[in-house]
Amino acid sequence: MPKLNPIPAAEFTRNFGRYRMLAQKSVVPVTSHGQITGYFVAADEFEEFERYRAQRQSFATRDLPSDTMAALATTTMDPRHRHLDDLMDDQ
C-alpha cells in the first residue's frame, strides 16, 4: 500500500472527494499546524481495526501457562534498548 504524504486539514477539506478516493488505496494522514492530527482510512480498514480491538484481552501474568512464563524468563532485550536498563536501576 503506498504511503501518502501528510495533507494539511484545509487541503483535505477543500478536496475531500479526492482524499476519500485515495483512502480506498492508502491511509491519508491529515495535519493541523504541521502536526498529524488524524488519519483518514477506508471504511473496511476501520471496521477491521474495530474487530481487532474488540478481540483484545488483558490478563494477569499469573494466568499464563508455565511454559510461556519459562519462555518469557529466558528472553533478552534487543541490544539497541540497553539504555532502558538505566531506568530499571533507579527503582
Q: Is the pTM of this model over 0.85?
A: no
Question: How far are the Cα atoms of 44, 61, 85 from residue 78, in angstroms, in the given order?
Answer: 35, 22, 11
Alpha-carbon distance of 72 to 13, in angstroms, equals 48
**pLDDT per position as a tens digit, 17-72:** 999 999 999 999 999 999 999 999 999 999 999 988 888 877 788 888 899 889 88
Residues 6+ apart with CB under 8 A from 77: 84, 85
In a domain, residue 84? The reply is no
In a domain, residue 1? The reply is no
Q: 3-7, 11-15, 43-47, 87-91: which range is least confident on average?
A: 87-91
Taking each continuous run of H as one helix and of E as one strand, the counts in the chain are 5, 3
Determine the structural domain holding residue 65 and report its residue range.
7-75
1: confidence class by pLDDT, cuts 50, 70, 90 = low
- We report the CATH number of the domain holding residue 67 as 3.40.1620
